[in-house]
């Protein structure tokens, strides 16, 4: 597939090849989040049951996976520049498949940690950093819509990934299910990537000349970490994702004794479904919104939902509050990259998004552990959830502080 000439670029047209890349990234996110993010809860339960390993040992492997993955995500932009999007996507899928095999057959803790290291490469090659960087090569004016639609695969991975994995474990055992997952990744993604992902569109000569004069990745990162506007975006979303991930991981444990396991599962399902609804709804207008204000309102809505969840015990109220919280979940993954695109040098987009994603991932890796620790120390979830509210409201103020990358 040859690079398109500038004259053929019409991102609004359904015939524009970039929409095929959106479909590829949707599938990529489905596998990436299904096995790399949501699948972690399954791995902890199964390895504890099969191997008798302490939950803390297995969970520490998960934390290691997130932290190592964050270190790799920083360099996604440079990897795409050197190797091309097709090769990077293929390597990410192969690493994800190898990690699934290794986790399924891990018989010693060191093997699990080695598998988590491979999974970190797979996560870096199938998740937010590479998806936004890849779509940034095909889209400019419709980038917000493209990223929003592609990242619905993340929610789809949560909706179908875990149930399918649990069903496969019941049929084939843990090792067999993970082997089947690895085969599925390669069988679906390798031909799709080979057929659909080629060279990105040719840049306009003026844009290409500017890109050639772009500062190095190291210079971009150094400037960004001194820029108030970039730090406000990064810090705000790091705080919110810390609270969001910590809350969601503990949600069933909180709701189970209050409304029962069945209704708690319904609340989780509705939260995930509303994440899709919110992301799709915003995708049609997100490029025209004040994205910092939209972010602040999203943070505040989650804080309101948490306040209801802490203080009310009505089944309907709790489930409705979970739905309200979920409406913003998907957009909080999309909005940081769109703010970066709008406010900073477009030549720095890939490097800045990779850096922001890595910082956020390092931060939210500790969310579930801190919420659990505060729950154990206080004897309940009120204290950690009020802490999450404080983080959300602090982030709503921080996100309104603007600045520019010099």
**Per-residue pLDDT, 209:** 44
pTM for this entry = 0.77
Residue 87 belongs to a domain? yes
Cβ neighbours around 81 below 10 Å, total: 15
Rounded distance, CA 44 to CA 150, Å? 28
Residue 405 belongs to a domain? no
Scored b (16 or more CB within 10 A) or e, 141-158 reads ebbbbbbbbbbbbbbbbb
Residue 300 belongs to a domain? yes
Q: State how far the alpha carbon of 393 is from the alpha carbons of 203, 295, 308, in Å.
A: 41, 11, 15
Residues 196, 293, single domain; the answer is no
Cβ neighbours around 27 below 10 Å, total: 21
**Per-residue pLDDT, 361:** 86
Residues 251, 189, single domain; the answer is no
**Per-residue pLDDT, 126:** 94
Residue 51 belongs to a domain? yes
Indicate the burial class of 56 (C-beta count within 10 angstroms; 0-12, 13-18, 19 or more): exposed
Residues 171, 272, single domain; the answer is no
Q: How many domains does the chain have?
A: 2
* Torsion angle of the four alpha carbons 332, 391, 300, 316, in this order, in degrees rounded to the nearest 10: 90
Residues 135, 223, single domain; the answer is no
**Per-residue pLDDT, 7:** 43
Residues 303, 240, single domain; the answer is yes
**Per-residue pLDDT, 11:** 65
Residues 191, 257, single domain; the answer is no
Range of the domain at 70: 15-201
Residue 406 belongs to a domain? no
Rounded distance, CA 152 to CA 279, Å? 7
Rounded distance, CA 405 to CA 388, Å? 30
Residue 323 belongs to a domain? yes
Rounded distance, CA 237 to CA 246, Å? 14
Domain boundary among 175, 201, 227: 201
CATH number at residue 132: 1.20.1250.20
Mean pLDDT of successive 10-residue stretches along the chain, which has 406 residues: 50 79 94 86 80 78 86 88 93 96 93 94 91 87 81 83 84 93 96 92 51 70 88 94 87 82 78 85 80 94 96 91 90 86 82 88 85 86 94 96 62
Residue 40 belongs to a domain? yes
**Per-residue pLDDT, 214:** 60
Helix, strand or coil, per DSSP, at residue 292: helix
């Amino acid at each position: 597939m040859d690079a398109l000439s500038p004259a053929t670029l019409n991102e609004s047209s359904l015939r524009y090849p970039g929409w095929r890349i959106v479909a590829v990234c949707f599938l990529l996110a489905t596998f990436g989040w299904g096995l790399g993010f949501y699948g972690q809860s399954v791995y902890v339960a199964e390895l504890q049951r099969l191997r008798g390993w302490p939950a803390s040992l297995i969970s520490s492997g998960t934390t290691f996976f997130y932290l190592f993955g964050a270190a790799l995500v920083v360099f996604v932009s440079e990897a795409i520049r050197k190797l091309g999007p097709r090769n990077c996507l293929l390597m990410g899928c192969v690493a994800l498949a190898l990690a699934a095999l290794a986790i399924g057959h891990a018989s010693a803790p060191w093997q699990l940690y080695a598998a988590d290291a491979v999974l970190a490469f797979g996560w870096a090659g199938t998740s937010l950093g590479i998806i936004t960087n890849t779509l940034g090569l095909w889209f400019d004016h419709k980038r917000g819509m493209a990223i929003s639609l592609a990242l619905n695969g993340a929610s789809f991975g949560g909706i179908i990934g875990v149930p399918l994995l649990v069903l496969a474990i019941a049929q084939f055992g843990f090792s067999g299910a993970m082997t089947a997952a690895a085969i599925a990744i390669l069988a679906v993604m390798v031909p799709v990537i080979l057929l659909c992902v080629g060279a990105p569109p040719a840049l306009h000569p003026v844009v290409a000349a500017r890109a050639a004069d772009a500062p190095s990745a190291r210079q971009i990162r150094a400037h960004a970490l001194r820029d108030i506007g970039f730090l406000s975006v990064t810090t705000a979303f790091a705080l919110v994702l810390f609270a969001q991930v910590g809350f969601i991981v503990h949600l069933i444990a909180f709701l189970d004794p209050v409304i029962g396991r069945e209704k708690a599962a319904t609340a989780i399902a509705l939260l995930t479904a509303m994440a899709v609804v919110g992301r799709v709804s915003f995708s049609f207008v997100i490029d025209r919104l004040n994205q910092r204000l939209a972010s602040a309102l999203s943070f505040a809505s989650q804080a309101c939902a948490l306040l209801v969840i802490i203080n009310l015990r009505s089944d309907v109220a709790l489930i409705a509050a979970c739905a309200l919280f979920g409406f913003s979940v998907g957009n909080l993954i999309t909005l940081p990259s769109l703010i970066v695109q709008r406010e900073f040098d477009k030549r720095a987009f890939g490097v800045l998004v990779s850096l922001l994603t890595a910082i956020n991932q390092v931060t939210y890796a500790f969310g579930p552990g801190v919420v659990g620790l505060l729950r154990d120390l206080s004897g309940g979830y009120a204290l950690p959830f009020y802490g999450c509210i404080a983080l959300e409201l602090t982030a709503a103020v921080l996100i309104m502080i603007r600045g520019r990358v010099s």
